[in-house]
Chain A
């Protein structure tokens, strides 16, 4: 897997975790009640971590990510069974079936999101 893609996945996971705690009332409740998590402190910690990991992106990738993340909910999406789960359009078979191509940092030809292949 491309190193930049690995960083993008981490950022997206952290943002997903943050979104779950901030917006998901049930998630917040489970974390507070079952795990005694101090959610507000956790959100601050996550923000710091996101900023820190973002610094690891190459400038070009960061610019593209910022552009995407500013306009859509998820800038990094899986490809499952050859379909981009951002726009649900099929990825070229020549890419989806080639392990070397799948490992590269790549954007969907249709919606522009960063792709990672998950089977």
Chain B
């Protein structure tokens, strides 16, 4: 499977409103359509992962991720905050593009790590930040993933 196959269009938002790291994380979680309690638990887990070390990998991209019992399958979301937010990224630059990845602890299909690796690989391609910045619709995002064939 390619990355495109893991994203639902409802889980792509190109105009995130959050102004802080926490607000952006909550907004990304909201794209997954979970109940309130599950959202709260997931937020705590993602925060704890961020406290171990930022998932901001540089070039304006972050990949917050964790395993959690509150999902029953691999779930992904993408969000873009045009002005960027301080995410304590490796290069200390603001983060504009966010890929959220959440998987259950025991994932039968075993896709979590391959997908995490693929997104990290995708994010490190030199032309990707510029291409992500030019997206106008969620459909454009999915088309970009498809074009990359990762």
Q: Show the binding face of A for B, using Cβ within 8 Å.
A: 1, 6, 9-10, 12-14, 16-17, 20, 24, 26-27, 30, 34-38, 41-42, 45-46, 49, 74, 76, 78, 80, 85, 116, 118
Contact A17 B45 (CB under 8 A): yes
Contact of B52 among A34, A46, A78 (CB under 8 A): A46
- Point out the residue from B51, B63, B104 that lies within 8 Å of A45, measured CB to CB: B51
Q: Provided the pairs A10-B44, A37-B52 are in contact, do residues A26 and B113 lie with their beta carbons within 8 angstroms?
A: yes
Interface centre among A6, A14, A17, A116 (most CB of B within 10 A): A17
Min CB–CB distance B104 → chain A (angstroms)? 8
Mask for B53-96, Cβ within 8 A of A = 1, else 0?
A: 11101000001001111101000000000000000001000000
Taking a contact as CB atoms closer than 8 A, the residue among A12, A17, A38, A45 that contacts B66 in the complex is A17
Q: Select one of A6, A16, A118 contacting B105, CB under 8 A.
A: A16
- Tell whether A9 pairs with B52 under 8 Å between CB atoms, given A78-B72, A118-B70: no
* Complex A-B: 18 CB contacts under 8 Å: A9-B41, A9-B69, A9-B70, A12-B69, A13-B67, A13-B68, A14-B45, A16-B105, A17-B66, A20-B67, A24-B113, A34-B57, A34-B117, A35-B53, A35-B57, A35-B63, A42-B53, A118-B72
* Residue B116 at the chain A interface, CB threshold 8 Å: yes
In the docked arrangement, what's the CA distance between A24 and B107, Å? 13
Q: How far is the CA of A26 from the CA of B116 in the complex (A)?
A: 11
Give A105 to B79 CA distance when docked, in angstroms.
Answer: 35
Docked complex Cα distance between A25 and B49 (Å): 18
Q: Give the Cβ gap from A34 to chain B, nearest Cβ, in Å.
A: 4
